[in-house]
Structure 1
Amino acid sequence: MPKEMSAGGIKARPSSQDAVPLRAAFNARTISTGVVATLFGCTGPAIIVMNAAESGHLSNAQTVAWLFAIYVLGGLISVLFSLRYRLPISGAYTIPGAAILAASLQIIPFNEAVGAFIASGVMVLALGASGLIGRLAHWLPVPIVMAMIAGALFRFATGAVDSVVAAPWVAGTATLAFFLTGRLLRSVPPVLVAGLVGLGIALWLGQLQPADVNLGFVMPEFTAPVFSWQAFFAIAVPLTALVIGAENAQAIGVLMAEGYEPPINHMTIASGVGGILAGLLGGHNANIAGPMTAICSSEQAGADARLRYGASLINGVLFMLFGLFAGAAVPFLLALPKALIMVIAGLAMIGVLLGAFQQAFRKNGACQVGAFVALTVAMSKFSLLGISSPFWALLLGVTVSALLGELGESRAGRRSEAGA
């Protein structure tokens, strides 16, 4: 098959893609898969963002601006990449990054966090433009990054358990619906079903109080950025590691697994530009999304891999609509019982946690002790110099691996794999 090379030297798409009309990419399979990806991204993940906003004591208007930024820009990334490369590349935001912010925003003012969002976008853009992604991955072992993610997000799993204990009817029934859906209805997002079931039970028990919540449209309130070293190390550095080491890496991996050859540098550059623009609007990084790309590039989107980009187009347009009407969605979500929000957030993190643990502690994997140190530090409430635990998890994990010689073993293993 002839190759069409992008400016970065990576094949953008097979030249035969041009012969496929755009309208052919819209069929029952691609449309339904795009909707599934949207439902996944607009339920549990949106609640995780709201949980972080609540931790930082943000106003409704600031929360609306955050959702507007990440969903509109994330959707725009999906649309642009799908049309340009005819590949099922979806954009959204880093879900683990939003979860980590729930802890950071408790000690860092939001205007400084916004400055860190922009700084993270600049770093991602610089890495993409310079082609240094491979060097960064070589320097920062994936097991340590994944262990940091697992440790930082594990509290969502324990929070889900606490919610079931505190509200067994609402949270417990939602949890049961989640697992039954995963077993019986594999084409339906379990998180969506869990949310609907929990909402129905809450309505039945009278635990929703919409009269106390303004259901009118809330205009976004943008926050002027302030740059500080404290926020840079506590937020910008971990976010950059997550965008590069989790979201982009996952998206690139699943695309290659499906037989595509993605434009790696261009995907990184787009994630950097999205991070800068999202920060200016008051949201954290808008970037290439691993989970949504995985859904849209899967066989659920159809047997003809050339047409699956239609799923990402649908996903992108629906994300943009959700972001535009976030003002109406936020007051409704605030009316939900806290136990339901926490259990849905925890359930939404199961896949991310499993993947993070598996990549951090693979059998005969590299940097096992360093990854364990990163995991335990990230799970703790450790804070030093005003910088929260995710940054220290990365730093201490790498330091311990270096002291034990694990970094050298990791590099030797990579050279061996490359030679094979």
Structure 2
Amino acid sequence: MNNLVSAVFTNTFRLKDFSVPALVAGVIAIIVGYAGPTVLVFQVAQSAGLTDAQVTSWLWAYSIASGVTSILASALTRQPLIMAWSTPGIAFLVLGLQGVPFNEAIGAFIVSNILILIVGITGIFRRIIDSVPMSVAAALNAGILLPFALNAIGSINTAPEIAIPMIVLFFIVRLFSQRWAVAAVFLLGIALCVYQGSMDTDTLKLQLAEPVFTYPEFGLEAIINISIPLTVLALTGQYLPGLSAMRSFGFKTNSDLVVKISSVASIIAAPFCCHNINPSSMIAGIVAGPDAHEDLDRRYWAAIVAGIVYIIFGTLAGTFVLLFSSLPIEAVHVLAGVSLLAAIAGSLKTAIHEDKSDCVVPIVVFSIAISDLTIFSIGPAFWAILIGLVLYYPIRKKA
């Protein structure tokens, strides 16, 4: 334990590795990561009859657990490992929690994360990750990230007065400094929202979160109907694409370590209304991509900053809910889109470069990843990898 604490302390406080781009990337990653799934959380609350206190507790538990695990994993490995909740899991819970006593739902959350922990302990997941070729991983990552760029473009239709100035500024600043382009867009977006009155600041107030502890109950029906789907969705929709994304940026991640840290944190957070904490498959590109820092070995600070912001947001979860309900979604879309352009370009380049003999497979993977293909309630990320592997190895063996 002393060695673990010493390693975390030594690695975390290598201040010479800290940079302003990492700071900006970390902050933006959390803003982008909260914007979409938070809406789904309120849909879950409505369908399951959760109270405002339980929703605030959910956000608190998610933020604190994600923040601590992001800092811990990134400090130990010196890699930008950013954690998030299982977005496919939230979408599933919109209907999955209907009619289920919440105590039993909490028990199901715990069982789901115990199953994931077992996967990490046995080393099964490491072998799965190692079997995914770089071209497939990169194509998958590009497909996951591309919708962010498309949403940024679509924002021009709905809020041109916000989207156009932000996009134009990005490319102007990028001519002089790629490092400061995203930061400039971030500041301009906030200024535009406040100036144009599209961001309602009158309702904002500091409000500390009060966690709500729910005693778990373990019902067989809830375990079958909630635990198993949550586990499959987390592994296929978050762990697999999230860790594959890290590979596409050139990081050799200890996947077993990540699974263990995330699942243990999830078990602890579950009684406070949170489901699964896992590697992000969407905002990973912001902290692991070139905009976080040109030096691969210094990008881990972006995830550490993100972890700190997570903890701040969690502490003020009530205030955060009010803040994001007042921020125009178009501003978030543009911010996410420009933040991920370099990551998308790098992933596409890697996908094609790594498989020069036959570019069809990465293109197929990319196409499936950007689609809305869903089979057995499992989303396109899993099917993109599965079909990519089925196509890749026979072709490679033949070559």
Structure 1 and Structure 2 fold alike (TM over 0.5)? yes
1:211-249 alpha-carbon deviations (Å, 9 max, x no partner)? 45676445456787954547844x532431354434334
Aligned partner of 1:68 in structure 2 is 60
Partner of 2:320: 329
Distance change (3 Å), C-alpha of 1:157 and 1:53? farther
Tell me, in whole angstroms, the C-alpha distance in 2 between the residues paired with 1:107 and 1:118.
19
- TM-aligned CA distance change 1:68 to 1:268, over 3 Å: same
> Cα deviation per residue 1:278-301 (whole Å; 9 max; x = unaligned)?
455444543456557647998778
Matches within 5 A, 1:231-310: 232-233=228-229, 236-251=231-246, 265-283=256-274, 285-287=276-278, 290-291=284-285, 294=288
- 1:375 equivalent among 360, 367, 370: 367
Distance 1:32 1:144, change over 3 A: closer
Q: After superposing the two structures, state which structure 1 stretch, 351-360 or 196-205, moved more.
A: 351-360
Q: Following TM superposition, by how much is the alpha carbon of 1:331 offset from its aligned partner in structure 2, in angstroms?
A: 0.6
* Aligned position for 1:77: 69
For 1:28-57, what per-residue CA distance to the aligned partner results, in whole angstroms no more than 9, with x for missing partners?
A: 652646633432332222223324435656
Indicate conservation of the 8 Å contact 1:370/1:396, yes or no: no
Provide the residue aligned with 2:185 in structure 1. 194
Over 3 Å counting, the alpha-carbon distance change for 1:159 and 1:150 in structure 2 is same
Alignment RMSD: 4.9
| Contact 1:64/1:220, CA 8 A, preserved across alignment | yes
Number of residue pairs aligned between Structure 1 and Structure 2: 379
Could you say if the C-alpha distance between residues 395 and 219 of structure 1 is closer, same or farther in structure 2, counting changes exceeding 3 Å?
same
> Conserved in 1, the CA contact under 8 Å of 2:71 and 2:303?
yes
- Asked if 1:167 is matched to 2:155, the reply is no
SS of aligned partner of 1:206: coil
Matched residue SS, 1:379? coil
| Matched AA of 1:176 | V
CA–CA separation in structure 1 for the residues paired with 2:273 and 2:44: 13
Could you list the runs of 5+ residues in structure 2 that have no partner in the other structure?
A: none
Equivalent pair of 2:143/2:367 in contact (CA under 8 Å) = yes
Cα 1:151–1:53, aligned 2, differ >3 Å: closer, same or farther? farther
- Corresponding letter in the other structure for 2:334: V
Deviations 1:326-355 (CA, angstroms, capped at 9, x unpaired): 322221121112332333344445455445
**CA offset at residue 102 of structure 1?**
7.4
- Asked whether the equivalents of residues 136 and 388 of structure 2 are also in contact (C-alpha less than 8 Å), the reply is no
Letter in 2 for 1:322: F
Structure 1 contact 26–310 (Cα < 8 Å) conserved? no
Structure 2 residue 40 is the aligned partner of structure 1 residue 49:
no
The 1:176/1:396 distance shift into structure 2, 3 A limit, reads: closer
In the TM superposition, residue 269 of structure 1 has moved relative to its aligned partner by 1.9
Q: Which residue number in structure 1 is paired with residue 311 of structure 2?
A: 320
Residue of structure 1 equivalent to 2:24: 36
Distance, in Å, in 1 between the alignment partners of 2:84 and 2:62 is: 9
Matched residue, 1:126: 118
**% identical equivalent positions:** 20
Q: In the alignment, is the contact (CA less than 8 A) between 1:275 and 1:285 conserved in 2? A: yes
1:188-221 CA-to-partner distances (Å, cap 9, x unmatched) read 471x543432222222222233345676445456
- Whether contact under 8 Å (1:41, 1:292) holds in the other structure is yes
Q: Name the SS of the counterpart of 2:321 in structure 1.
A: helix
Gaps of 5+ in 1: 1-11
Distance in 2 (alpha carbons) for counterparts of 1:184 and 1:118? 50
Instruction: Find out whether 1:204 has 2:192 as its counterpart.
Output: no
SS of match in other structure, 1:187:
helix
Q: CA separation in 2, counterparts of 1:117 and 1:348? A: 33
Whole-angstrom distance in 1 between the partners of 2:385 and 2:11: 49
What is the CA-CA distance between 1:371 and the residue it aligns to?
Answer: 6.3
- TM-score, length-scaled by structure 1: 0.67
Helix, strand or coil for the counterpart of 1:207? coil
Q: Which residue of 2 aligns with 1:158?
A: 150
* Partner residue, 1:407: 393
SS at match of 2:382: helix
1:177 matched residue in structure 2? 169
